[in-house]
Amino acid sequence: MQPSLNEDQIQILEFLDSLSKPYATAPLHDTSFALHSDELDRELAEGGFLDVMAMPELGAATAALVAERLARLPFAVEAAVSALVRPLINPELPRPICLVEEGQLRKPVRFLKPGATVVVIGAETVRTFIASADLVRSAGDEVLFAYPMAYLQGVPADARHHDVSADEVRRAWRVALAAETAGLLAAALQNVSTYVSERKQFGRALATFQAVRHRLAEAQVATNGVYWLAIRAAATADAGDAALAALHAQETAQKVCYDYHQFLGAMGMTLEHPLHLWTYRLKALTADLGGRGEQALAAAEAIWG
């Protein structure tokens, strides 16, 4: 048992922070609801940050740490799935990687665009294909989630089957979901904490009111739990650990999002504060893999049979 960062992991995260520094603040007023940077995406891929899982001295826990750290940025990056799920299927799959549950085409898909790799996960099968333009329908400006999203119009009959367990891919998806959620939760909490520390009403900072302090402290406890469960699930590769991590992630996301906007008051209704970039991503992730109830059932099955 040694739940602490090793030297390699500390160094990787330092490199990552250095690379992503230009993207650490949101350029407001001239961006869309979903902030995205192809340049950041390219730099991450070229730097090998999304390939750390395959390196024996780094492994899945490091991949989860990378995913968590990147999710804190105001820019949405398709990192968690590439870092934690793609290596199980084929590490050479072209990015972005879009995960879709078989029979769930009604749902919008994160990062879907022509040229993306779509992974269709069925009860027993895992298939992939490259999304062609005719299979991608833009969701336009109506998307209320802060990711680039589109609808998948169908699955080609010649989608390639992979010799990998669908349950394993679902397990890795849960880890990726938990790691990304942990980063989003951390960034949202940090932003709200800063705001309530600066904003004064009744002559004092909002953060000095216990009603605010205690709810934020409870959010910190939950966020910390999501972080550790995600990293543990990545490290152990255990189906029960993954389901518990995803469950706690989705539970926590649902619990904190409204509180966070509430604490910002009217500012929480605007696009002038970047909070929505994290909370409206958190909301999107709560729908992954059927939501909390499904993660809970998967956890119960894995733990108690």
Partner 1 sequence: MNFEWTDDQRAFRRKIEQFLEQSLPADWEEFSRHGPASPELTEFARTFCRQLADNGMLFPHWPKDAGGEGLGPWEQQILAEVMWEWGEPRGGQYMNVNWIGPTLMKYGSPGQKDKYLPQIASGEMLWCQGFSEPNSGSDLASLRTRAVLDGDVYRVNGQKIWTSYAGLADTCFLLTRTSDDKKRGITILLVPMDTPGITVRQIPSLIGEGDIHEVFFDDVEVPVSQRLGEEGQAWEIIGYSLTNERLGIPRYHLARAALDRGVAMLKQAGDFDRAPVRIEAARCAALCEAARTAIYAIVQKRADGQAIGAESSSARFATVMAERAVCAFIVECLPEALAGGSAYLQMHHQRGIVAGIAAGAAEIQLNIIATDVLQLPREPR
Interacting residues toward partner 1 by CB under 8 A: 1-6, 9, 61-62, 65, 189, 193, 196-197, 204-205, 207-210, 213-214, 216-218, 220-222, 224-226, 228-229, 231-232, 235-236, 241, 243-245, 247-248, 251, 292-293, 295-297, 299-301, 303-304
- Based on CB atoms, which residue is closest to partner 1, 107 or 213? 213
Taking the complex as a whole, the smallest distance from the CB of residue 4 to partner 1 amounts, in Å, to 5
Classify burial at 42, counting beta carbons within 10 Å of its beta carbon; exposed 0-12, middle 13-18, buried 19 or more: exposed
CA distances from 304 to 60, 235, 239, 298, 300 (A): 25, 21, 12, 10, 6
- Based on CB atoms, which residue is closest to partner 1, 213 or 273? 213
- CA-closest candidate to residue 79, choices 104, 54, 42: 42
- Based on CB atoms, which residue is closest to partner 1, 81 or 231? 231
Taking the complex as a whole, the smallest distance from the CB of residue 225 to partner 1 amounts, in Å, to 3
Taking the complex as a whole, the smallest distance from the CB of residue 40 to partner 1 amounts, in Å, to 25
- Based on CB atoms, which residue is closest to partner 1, 13 or 19? 13
Provide the CB-side half-sphere exposure for 90 (13 A, CA): 16
Q: Residue 22 corresponds to which tokens in the numbers above?
A: 């230009």
Asked if 182 and 70 touch (Cβ cutoff 8 Å), the reply is no
Taking the complex as a whole, the smallest distance from the CB of residue 215 to partner 1 amounts, in Å, to 9
- Based on CB atoms, which residue is closest to partner 1, 15 or 129? 15
Which bin fits 291, alpha (ψ -120 to 50), beta or left (φ > 0)? left
Neighbouring residues of 27: CB distance < 8 A, sequence distance ≥ 6: none
Taking the complex as a whole, the smallest distance from the CB of residue 151 to partner 1 amounts, in Å, to 29
